[in-house]
Amino acid sequence: MRAWHHTYGLPVLTTNCSNNYGPYQFPEKLIPLTIANALQGKPLPIYGNGLNIRDWLYVVDHCQGIEAVLQSGRPGEVYNIGGWNEMTNIDIVRAICKLLDEKSPESAKAAGGQHEHLIQFVKDRPGHDKRYAINANKIFKELGWKPQETFESGINKTIDWYLNNTDWVQRVQSGDYTNWIHQQYSSQAA
């Protein structure tokens, strides 16, 4: 795309983003997996020592960042959309556990009083990056965009969504989500 922009003047915009989280994220990813497993009393696997660092971006903020680029970005430019929320994986999991202890005391009780008791360190993947970071200063300076959610506000919304949509998680984990998706689209089309 960028070659076509430089060669033929095709008006293209490119964005890169941080790790996203929020509603409807497939439950194999760290945050939804941690929430789902904790609520089910299953182990909370963390690679290595848990000190891998990631920048986290709430999905609605990502969408708003893309919208800002579409509305005001300069053709041919690349914009990084970041959350300014760099955290270690272990800190992410502990934050989720603490919130779930408050929001779902029955599952905390089943986990021995605290969800954190479910944490298990597992062998790290070969070549697993220690840090993913993104510099989002350009989108802020040029377009005035910055995320509206802090990690704390975004993770609260995310946990609340998963607590209120356990049926969706169960359907995805069971593989029945394709039928559920078809039903959702069929009812919207009617």
Instruction: Measure the CA–CA gap between 89 and 48, rounded to whole angstroms.
Output: 10
Residue 190 falls within a domain, yes or no? no
For residue 180, name the pLDDT band (cuts at 50, 70, 90): low
Which pLDDT belongs to residue 190? Answer: 64
- Count H helices and E strands in the chain, helices first: 9, 7
For residue 73, name the pLDDT band (cuts at 50, 70, 90): very high
Which pLDDT belongs to residue 188? Answer: 72
Distances (CA, A) of 184 to 88, 108, 181, 189, 190: 36, 32, 5, 9, 10
Query: Is the per-residue pLDDT at 119 higher than 80?
Result: yes
Instruction: Give the total number of structural domains in the chain.
Output: 1
23, 59 Cβ separation under 8 angstroms: yes
Neighbours of 111 (CB within 10 A): 23
Distances (CA, A) of 48 to 93, 110, 116: 14, 26, 16
- Mean of the pLDDT values across residues 26-31? 93
Which pLDDT belongs to residue 165? Answer: 95
CATH at 130: 3.40.50.720
pLDDT greater at residue 139 or residue 127 = 139
- Show the beta-strand stretches assigned E in the chain: 14-17, 19-21, 44-47, 53-58, 78-81, 86-88, 119-122
**Which among 51, 38, 54 has a CA at the least distance from the CA of 151?**
54
**Residues whose CB falls within 8 Å of the CB of residue 79, separated by 6 or more in sequence, listed in order:** 13, 14, 15, 16, 65, 69, 73, 138, 139, 142, 143
Query: Is the per-residue pLDDT at 128 higher than 90?
Result: no
Task: Report which DSSP code applies to 178.
Answer: H
Which pLDDT belongs to residue 155? Answer: 98
**Which among 174, 173, 180, 188 has a CA at the least distance from the CA of 25?**
173
Instruction: Measure the CA–CA gap between 100 and 51, rounded to whole angstroms.
Output: 21
Domain span holding position 91: 2-177
- Mean of the pLDDT values across residues 12-20? 96
For residue 125, name the pLDDT band (cuts at 50, 70, 90): confident
Which pLDDT belongs to residue 173? Answer: 86
For residue 186, name the pLDDT band (cuts at 50, 70, 90): confident
Query: Is the per-residue pLDDT at 156 higher than 80?
Result: yes
Q: Rounded to two decimals, what is the model's pTM?
A: 0.88
Where is 124: in which H helix or E strand? none
Query: Is the per-residue pLDDT at 181 higher than 80?
Result: no
For residue 183, name the pLDDT band (cuts at 50, 70, 90): confident
Residue 153 falls within a domain, yes or no? yes
Residue 13 falls within a domain, yes or no? yes
The residues facing 86 across adjacent strands are 55
